[in-house]
A and B are shown apart, each in its own frame.
Chain A
Amino acid sequence: MNALASVVFVALVLLVATYLVAVIDATIMIRVSRGRGYTGVWMDPIARAARLMMQRGSRTERPDLQVWFLAPALLAGLGAVALASIPVAAAVHVADNGAGIVLFGAAMLQVMVAVFLHGWAANSVFPMLGAFRMAAAGMSMSIPFSLALITTALPAESLSVGAIIVSQEGLWNVVRQPLGLPVYLITALAFSFWGPMQLPDAADLAGGTTAEISGVALLVWRVARIGVLVALSAMGAAAFLGGYLGPVLPGWLWMMVKTAGLATVMVWSGHHFARMRIESVVFLGWTLLLPIALVDVFLSGALTL
């Protein structure tokens, strides 16, 4: 796709997908909390967005203003780039170059930087604690994340996401490399700071990095975060569930279904598992997920040969 078409395409996909994930989140919240007769799930995300657009932005006394403006924009840009590296259908892709996995990994690891900047900017205690937590969590989770994705590149002999999808025509990677998807999903939760990994914007920090943010800036941050979740789900669908491959339906529809499925799994886990302690996240990343990811790499390597 040329540049203009790419931008429009990614923007549309991100906005629609963000809205749908917000609806899924509200639906699961209502079901888990045994709410009855609530019919507002479809309007709720739009109503909240409208209210935030009417709310005035805030500032703190001595913030770092450039970083304050940059951080949500950076997060949104990273989510968009990550989504752009994933092909939607056989010939429809925005930026599926020869090293899509590297581009995606680079974009997702920078999310840690964007969240840290967001917390640092306000010069306030709660956002800063959230920022440093995310730095520790991001570092611990990034190696298993990259390893899980590299393992899917082994059978494809290429780092391009399109080639990885094509290499799954016989068998999906979730079957060939069963350890990969669980590790990937847990680290994806960490990079989109969702549910059990909601460390930077946690409730025990009074909203964490968003504690001093209001108005459009808050709306943009929340939308960008869901955009990152969507990008991570799409990559999971592409690398482990065969992407646009599938029998009856057209490719893009399969891609949507699989992405929605993974996003629903992650949102569901957000409502069913408690937020982990930062120490546990670091410990888990290094002593459990990393060895599992390494076993995954070598086992798959041996089986692929």
Chain B
Amino acid sequence: MAALGSALAVFLATVLAVGAAKWAGDVLNPVTLTIPERVPFAGGIPPDYHAWNRFHIRWYTMALLFLAFDMEMVFMYPWAVVFIREGLVSLVEMMMFILILLVGIVYTWRERGFSWA
């Protein structure tokens, strides 16, 4: 627990320190910009539209597959710890689990979910 406390302290300290560094940078060189200085760069011509749009995520099927494998990862973490103790049975069980998920990869591959252009 103390270890996690240290990790949290490191994380927060770094985030705050970096934030402070950027704030100090803005104090050293105050950012007062005219509107033309704030136009997004795309080669010299100002844009006509906001860049934020509903990006067509063609790889959303891959994202679903990622979710499935992420849930598998959740189970593999504790499996790794008890693996030697449980022996061959646990290996075979995990293999069966993975093989079912591999069918998902084969399906996505065949449905061209990995190549979207």
> Which residues of A are at the interface with B, using a C-beta cutoff of 8 A?
1-4, 6-7, 10-11, 53-62, 69, 72-74, 76-81, 84-85, 93-97, 99, 101-103, 120, 122-128, 132, 136, 139-140, 142-143, 146-147, 150-151, 153-155, 157-159, 206, 211-212, 215-217, 220, 224, 279, 282-283, 286-287, 290-291, 294, 297-298, 301-302, 304-305
Contacts and interface: CB of A to CB of B under 8 A. Distances in A.
A4 to B, nearest CB: 8
Contacts of A151: 80
Contacts of B116: 279
A305 B117 CA distance: 45
B22 A69 contact: yes
21 contacts: A2-B6, A3-B9, A6-B10, A11-B13, A57-B25, A60-B39, A72-B18, A74-B15, A76-B15, A84-B7, A97-B3, A103-B4, A125-B42, A126-B42, A136-B62, A157-B82, A159-B80, A279-B116, A283-B115, A286-B65, A294-B98
B24 to A, nearest CB: 7
A219 B115 CA distance: 35
A95 B7 contact: yes
Interface of B: 1, 3-7, 9-19, 21-22, 24-26, 28-31, 33, 35, 37-43, 47, 50-52, 55, 57, 59, 62-63, 65-66, 69-70, 73, 76-77, 80-85, 87-88, 91, 94-95, 98, 102, 105, 108-109, 114-117
Contact of B66 (A84, A93, A142, A279): A142
Contact of B14 (A11, A216, A282): A11
A60 B9 contact: no
A146 B30 CA distance: 43
A59 B33 contact: yes
Contacts of B21: 216, 220
Nearest to B76: A150
B33 A58 contact: yes
B95 to A, nearest CB: 6
Contact of B7 (A94, A125, A215): A94
Contact of B9 (A6, A122, A286): A6
B26 A124 contact: no
